[in-house]
Amino acid sequence: MKKLDTVRAVLRRHRKLTALTVVLLAVLLPIVLNNSYLIGIATKILMYMLLASAVNVINGYSGQFAIGHAGFMCVGSYTAAILMSRLGMPFFGALPLAGIVTALFGMLVSFPIGKLSGIYLGFVTLGFSEIVRIICLNWTPVTGGPMGIKAIPGPSLFGFSLQSSNGYYYVILVLLVAMVFCTSRILKSRTGRAWISIRENSAAAASIGINTARYKTMNIMYATFWEGCAGAFMATYYHFVDSSMFVTDESFNILSMAIVGGMGTIAGPLVGAVVINIITEAFRFLSEYRMVIYALLIIGMMWLRPQGIAGSSDSVLVSGGGRHNKKRRRTARPKPVAPVTASTKEG
């Protein structure tokens, strides 16, 4: 575990160089691989990186415990699917609209849950996700019902089709880089500092004049915008969308990526998405039993490194668990005080 902290410290010291190197490697990856199957897996990993990063904005930076992220993906997917397949709108026109519509849903959800926190907030967002999924399942004239929406066109730019494996890869890569860049800039602004102060202590943040309700709403709207964009990409990537793609398991799958990687960090969700997707692909031959390995990984991470792979060892998450924290819990013995005597008084 100390090696992870050492590597993290080195990468953090050379943050800009590390970011440029990672982006350059990601751009060159399709050229080096030249394998449509592996590029497809890489595309899927990038999509989940985007989703896990959006989850991290809510759960990791503002401290709100949201679960039902699949519902926001569902809104973005169906919005883009309807705009593209029925109204003939191109993908890059439907993409921002899908994000905006999803952000508006996020705003509507944030109003009644402004004073909720913890597991209660989680239950409300989970309920919203199921409501959205059931509506999409039964609103047949608009959503296609159980049959979903088929024949969703692929992306194109200036007349050039991007429906190849490399094209989809670069589309989601650009979206991910844009999201990470915007998030990193926002976190250094007044808004980002307000989110973090709310996470640390909501009452203290309110006492110094921070409008916690407004900043929580802004936080949810920003994150759900990117979840809607990821849902729009999913619709055009699979050329099909139906309600079964947005079950509750999908919400927990995305949340686990952020937890395993390390919430409250930029790199954490990215690392978590890579680890989880590689494990599920590597053990695909085990069929449903691969989920046991998945569960054991999460349990092991919570026990050995609760702050996540990319989390800092001095994170507040560390204080709650792990055998390596037992030594830190030992209380220091008070130093004995010398008795006061007559000689010491005279001196």
Give Cα 344 distance to the centre of its chain: 64
Q: Is the pLDDT of residue 340 over 50?
A: no
The answer to whether the CB of 218 falls within 8 A of the CB of 114 is no
Q: Rounded distance, CA 179 to CA 226, Å?
A: 7
Most confident of 5-14, 312-321, 328-337: 5-14
Give the residues across from 157 on adjacent strands: 160
**Would you state the pLDDT for residue 248?**
87
The DSSP secondary-structure symbol of 154 reads: P
Q: Spell out the SS3 assignment of 243-273.
A: HHHHCHHHHHHHHHHHHHHCCCCCHHHHHHH
**Would you state the pLDDT for residue 10?**
64
Query: What string of DSSP letters covers 53-101?
Result: HHHHIIIIIS------HHHHHHHHHHHHHHHHHTS---HHHHHHHHHHH
**Would you state the pLDDT for residue 222?**
95
In whole angstroms, how far apart are CA 43 and each of 92, 172, 174, 234, 267?
Answer: 18, 7, 11, 10, 18
| Residue-averaged pLDDT of the chain | 83
29: closest CA among 239, 172, 216, 203? 172
Between 87-96, 106-115, 228-237, the lowest mean confidence (pLDDT) is in: 106-115
**Would you state the pLDDT for residue 105?**
94
Residue type, 244: S
**CB crowding 223-250: b at 16 or more within 10 Å, else e:** bbbbbbbbbbbbbbbebbbbbebbeeeb
pTM, rounded to two decimals: 0.84
Phi, psi for residue 149 in degrees, rounded to 5:
-115, 125
Count of Cβ atoms closer than 10 Å to residue 211 Cβ: 12
Helix axes 212-238 and 91-110, enclosed angle (nearest 10): 140
Q: Hey, what are 250's tokens?
A: 């999908």
Between 116-125, 216-225, 257-266, 329-338, the lowest mean confidence (pLDDT) is in: 329-338
**Would you state the pLDDT for residue 193?**
92
The answer to whether the CB of 216 falls within 8 A of the CB of 64 is yes
Give Cα 200 distance to the centre of its chain: 19
CB-based contacts of 142, cutoff 8 Å, min separation 6: 82
DSSP helix/strand/coil, 337: coil
Give Cα 88 distance to the centre of its chain: 31
**Would you state the pLDDT for residue 327?**
44
Q: Rounded distance, CA 109 to CA 72, Å?
A: 10
DSSP helix/strand/coil, 144: coil
Q: Which segments of the chain does DSSP mark as H helices, in order?
A: 2-13, 15-33, 36-56, 69-85, 91-110, 118-138, 140-143, 165-187, 190-200, 202-207, 212-238, 248-261, 267-282, 290-304, 342-346
The answer to whether the CB of 50 falls within 8 A of the CB of 177 is no
The answer to whether the CB of 153 falls within 8 A of the CB of 240 is no
Angle in degrees, CA 87, 92, 98, rounded to 5: 70
What is the Rg, in whole angstroms, of the alpha carbon atoms belonging to the chain?
23
pLDDT tens for 94-141 read 999 999 999 999 999 888 776 766 778 888 888 999 999 999 999 999
